[in-house]
Amino acid sequence: MTADTDTAAASVPTPGAAATVAFSKYTSFGNTFIIVDETRTPLGDDRERAAFARWALNPDFGLGGTDNVLYLRRPVDGEPEADWVFRIFEQDGSETLSCGNGLLSSAAVLHAAHGGTSFGVLTELPTGRPQRVRIGVAADRGRTWVNVGWPRPVPDELYVRRGPAPASGIDRVDGLEVPLPQDVSWTAGLPETVLLAGHLVFTGEPHLMLRQGDGLPDAVADKLFLAREAGGAGEIGLAPNASMKESNLLVDHLGRYVNDHCRDRFPQGIHLSFTRVLDPGRGLVETRTYERAIFCETLACGSGSVALAYMLQELGLVSGSTTQFWPHRCRWYAPDASLIVERTDDGWVLDGQPSLVCQGELPRLGPRTEDSA
DSSP state of 214: B
Confidence at 12, pLDDT banded by 50, 70, 90: very low
Q: What is the mean predicted confidence (pLDDT) over 249-267?
A: 97
Q: How far apart are CA 24 and CA 247, in angstroms?
A: 32
pLDDT at 60: 87
Instruction: Read off φ and ψ for residue 95, nearest 5 degrees.
Output: -105, 135
pLDDT at 61: 85
pLDDT digits (tens, 9 = 90+) for 88-145: 999 999 999 999 999 999 999 999 999 999 999 999 999 999 999 999 998 877 799 9
Q: How far apart are CA 358 and CA 25, in angstroms?
A: 5
Instruction: Read off φ and ψ for residue 182, nearest 5 degrees.
Output: -105, 0
pLDDT at 215: 96
Residue 7 pLDDT greater than 80, yes or no: no
Residue 238 pLDDT greater than 80, yes or no: no
Give the residue with greater pLDDT, 371 vs 120.
120
Q: Are 103 and 146 in contact (CB under 8 A)?
A: yes
For the chain, residues classed under CATH 3.10.310.10 are 20-149+356-372, 171-345
Confidence at 48, pLDDT banded by 50, 70, 90: very high
Q: How far apart are CA 130 and CA 182, in angstroms?
A: 45
Nearest to 211 by CA among 312, 306, 292, 297: 312
pLDDT at 170: 98
pLDDT at 233: 60
Average pLDDT taken over every residue of the chain: 90
pLDDT digits (tens, 9 = 90+) for 300-316: 999 999 999 999 999 99
Q: How far apart are CA 83 and CA 132, in angstroms?
A: 10
Percent of the chain at pLDDT > 90 equals 78
Q: What is the mean predicted confidence (pLDDT) over 78-90?
A: 95
pLDDT at 8: 33
Give the residue with greater pLDDT, 223 vs 2.
223
pLDDT at 53: 94
Confidence at 10, pLDDT banded by 50, 70, 90: very low
Residue 79 pLDDT greater than 70, yes or no: yes
Containing H/E element for 54?
Answer: helix 46-56
* Range name among 15-29, 81-95, 341-355 with the lowest pLDDT average: 15-29
CATH of 171-345, one of 3.30.70.1560, 3.30.230.10, 3.10.310.10, 3.30.2000.10: 3.10.310.10
| Angle between helical axes of 100-114 and 302-314 (0-180°, round to 10) | 130
pLDDT at 366: 56
Residue 33 pLDDT greater than 50, yes or no: yes
Contacts of 197 by beta carbon, 8 Å cutoff, 6+ apart? 172, 173, 174, 175, 176, 210, 214, 215
Q: How far apart are CA 291 and CA 304, in angstroms?
A: 10
- Identify the bridge partners of residue 289 per DSSP, sorted by sequence position: 273, 298
pLDDT at 369: 45
pLDDT at 65: 84
pLDDT at 229: 65
Strands (E) in 188-329, as ranges, are: 193-202, 206-212, 215-216, 271-279, 284-291, 296-298, 322-327
Q: Hey, what CATH topology would domain 20-149+356-372 get?
A: Diaminopimelate Epimerase; Chain A, domain 1 (3.10.310)
